[in-house]
Structure 1
């Protein structure tokens, strides 16, 4: 099988390395000249603009930022063979589904989400083992979930956990809770400490680093996803605010009554 990958950063680069280890024939394209040079040196595959190879490969993998996905879908789908497969690895699926409808989807589509993102980006952070045992989803964006044999093949090659099947709507709602909410909470903790108690950073250990790690992802990379999921993410933030408010009220009661937290009703849930 000949695979072309557009966007060879952390995710696309890790896919490329995993496929290269399986001796798959690869075409690679990335907007960053330095990444293209690195790919050429490593010889993971042939490096060229997708305009030149999109019509000749069996599978095209899109691993570009969400803000670029629509433009590339509009441009690349008409170039692909009708028997080819388009795989998108975007972390929210609503905009992808909309773009494919407008592009006049004429190829088989397999929409995957590999939950292996990190706070670092770019090809230099890529690894063939990035997806090992990571959570993964096959998302039905209104075009079916894709052939079972293709799904099984990608799971085996990437080494991820078995794919769960999600609708685009439920998948994107879930991302608000398990991806974007943790990002905002992590970012908020870092900003509050740095703004209100910067002198304490000298004592920040692994707990602080782990808590704030995911929030180090550049906001510009995350904003399109936050915008798409704004309604569900707002619900998630409201729930988090409610939980934090309970803790603040318990702490205030503990101070005013001069008693430890564990002696106050309503502050600790059973088995905590």
Structure 2
């Protein structure tokens, strides 16, 4: 598989960075990793991957640099690596929230061709041992396209994401963060609350806990520090929680008045079935930032970036009812 990048440096080799290292080895790109944890770096090297001794060594000659460390570590990593970034390199990341990283890059490495990224492919397990070369297959991958994002850098990264089997979704940082508040942050907060509420019911309740409890609280198994990085500093999560709390209060009031949760159950059932049964049509997309952002906001994604003598052709999928 021919890569749109010649040399890729992945900084941070946990679940996402490690999976990306695995997946990139299936392309034509030269790939090198780096991790601040010596034991992780040693394990990756023992698995046959090229691992640099420093971040400066890793990014030397790279035309794509991926920041794959937790959000609290991004600023320090940026300050360390910024003096060594090749002038023509594209910089991206794989974190859940995009606005904090975008602000940090603008402050620490202004002028860098930065394309914020977020592969929505995580699982509860973390670390290099959980890395999976197929983790990104068919997964949405938000790619931030701001007014100052170099369009060619965005297109090259979208092409690579397609080659990895994922679905690039054009979006702005603000829209991405607002969306993940409801589909990542909120589910995690609710899962933690469910796990605690179930525990408070005593041993009998836990002995009777079955599929509903397991499914609803499953992501509470995620490392707490990671959950905090996905939820903290995202004002949109407050709005999402207000929405969920209002629905729960209405259900509580119905039950307190000897009513029913049928209305909530029906609406939730219909919403879930609608999501599962969405249909999509293929579409050709112009390489234009406004059209691309509108495509992403409407629920669409990119399926291919084709470079021809006449320029760039883009193919995508969009919801039938969009």
TM-score, structure 2 normalization: 0.75
The reply on whether 1:170 has 2:180 as its aligned counterpart is no
Of 69, 76, 94, which residue of structure 2 is paired with 1:64? 69
The reply on whether 1:80 has 2:85 as its aligned counterpart is yes
For residue 45 of structure 1, give the secondary structure of its aligned residue in structure 2: coil
Number of residues paired by the alignment?
A: 263
Structure 1 residues 205 and 212: alpha-carbon distance in aligned structure 2, compared to 1, 3 A threshold = same
Q: Which consecutive residues of structure 1, in runs of 5 or more, have no partner in the other structure?
A: none
The reply on whether 1:219 has 2:224 as its aligned counterpart is yes
Give 1:6 deviation, angstroms. Answer: 0.5
Whole-Å Cα distance in 2 between the matches of residues 46 and 233 of structure 1? 37
Whole-Å Cα distance in 2 between the matches of residues 187 and 145 of structure 1? 39
Q: Which consecutive residues of structure 2, in runs of 5 or more, have no partner in the other structure?
A: 1-5, 271-322
Whole-Å Cα distance in 1 between the matches of residues 77 and 160 of structure 2? 23
Whole-Å Cα distance in 2 between the matches of residues 197 and 67 of structure 1? 36
Aligned to 1:95: 100
Deviation by residue 1:137-193 (Cα, 9 ceiling, x = unmatched): 1113553164254134222332112x2211111111112111101100011100111
Matches within 5 A, 1:102-181: 102-141=107-146, 143-144=148-149, 146-147=151-152, 149-161=155-167, 163-181=168-186
Whether the 8 Å CA contact 1:82–1:106 is kept in 2: the answer is: no
Larger mean CA deviation between 49-58 and 6-15 belongs to 49-58
Give 1:93 deviation, angstroms. Answer: 1.1
Give 1:268 deviation, angstroms. Answer: 6.2
Whole-Å Cα distance in 1 between the matches of residues 99 and 158 of structure 2? 24
Whether the 8 Å CA contact 2:113–2:150 is kept in 1: the answer is: no
Of 6, 12, 17, which residue of structure 2 is paired with 1:12? 17
Whether the 8 Å CA contact 1:5–1:60 is kept in 2: the answer is: yes
Deviation by residue 1:100-159 (Cα, 9 ceiling, x = unmatched): 121132332121111111211111111011111111211135531642541342223321
Larger mean CA deviation between 190-199 and 8-17 belongs to 190-199
